[in-house]
Amino acid sequence: MPASSDRSGQPLESAAFKRGPGGRPTREEAERRHAALLDVARRLFLGNGLSATSVEAIAEQAGVAKRFIYARYADKDELFVAAIGRYLIQAISPLTNFEVPAIPVETGLFEFGRKMLGVALQPEPLSAFRTLALEGARFPNLARLFMERNRERAIGPILRVLQAYEQRGELALGDAQMMAEHFFILVVGVPQRFALIGMKEDPPDAERRLRAAIALFLDGCRARQDRPRAAS
């Protein structure tokens, strides 16, 4: 029987899971099933949308029973948030692992900004953003739940980099969390919106936009002698 696919044409895995002694899956097998479930759920949600994706379809494609899903997630919203959140952890690893270089803040933030764009403008993050924007308007609880579970996860790497420069005396952030969110919007906002409607800037224009975003951020957050430095 041929493998089925989502609307993007990607084949979906049909999992055949092995059972341990006595017919019960081992802990490792249960974890493998769970990971496979989240992968299938992500592909279906992003390929078909939340509304058009049923728990039954996810269970069938993942090769698990519905009770396996409902033992872990209260509803489809919870499963969506977990599936996209798991992918988010994987996608932002270049940012999580970014080592703040011992170079001027302008150059360091430019390099970090390039990595941010490299993550944000990939097809799956764009699809996740598009799905969340569409479905979140219809299901406010979904948007609230997603933000509660993933806001810190998404902003955390940016916050870490900015605070490293603050500790070096090059930035004065004030509300560091808010400044990290502003940095994200300045760097990613316009390019992401272009990408969502199928537009792509020429590399020279994209670089000029990024440098302007970094300069604008530094105009507001660069440490000055008349500003108090954050306590170390």
* Cα–Cα distance, 214 to 210 (Å, whole number): 6
Using the 8-state DSSP alphabet, how is residue 21 labeled? G
Burial class (CB in 10 A: 0-12, 13-18, 19+), 202: exposed
Helices and strands, counts by H and E, the chain? 10, 0
Q: Is the pTM of this model over 0.85?
A: no
Query: Mean pLDDT over all residues of the chain?
Result: 86
* Cα–Cα distance, 204 to 229 (Å, whole number): 36
For the chain, what are the domain ranges?
A: 1-72, 93-221
Using the 8-state DSSP alphabet, how is residue 49 labeled? -
**Per-residue pLDDT tens for 87-140?**
988 899 999 999 998 999 999 999 999 999 999 999 999 998 888 888 888 888
What pLDDT does residue 93 have? 92
**Per-residue pLDDT tens for 21-78?**
555 677 888 889 999 999 999 999 999 988 899 999 999 999 999 999 999 999 999 9
* Cα–Cα distance, 145 to 199 (Å, whole number): 30
**Per-residue pLDDT tens for 178-205?**
999 999 999 999 999 999 999 999 999 9
Q: 11: which strand partners? A: 5
Q: Give rounded-to-5 percent helix, strand, coil for the chain.
A: 70, 0, 30
CATH superfamily of domain region 1-72: Homeodomain-like (1.10.10.60)
Residues 6+ apart with CB under 8 A from 80: 41, 45, 50, 135, 142, 146
Locus of tokens 């300069």: 215
Closest Cα partner for 12 from 32, 34, 37, 31?
Answer: 37
- Asked if residue 11 has pLDDT above 70, the reply is no
Q: 171: which strand partners? A: 222
More confident call, 147 vs 178: 178
| Domain 93-221 in CATH 3.40.50.300 | no
Residues 6+ apart with CB under 8 A from 178: none
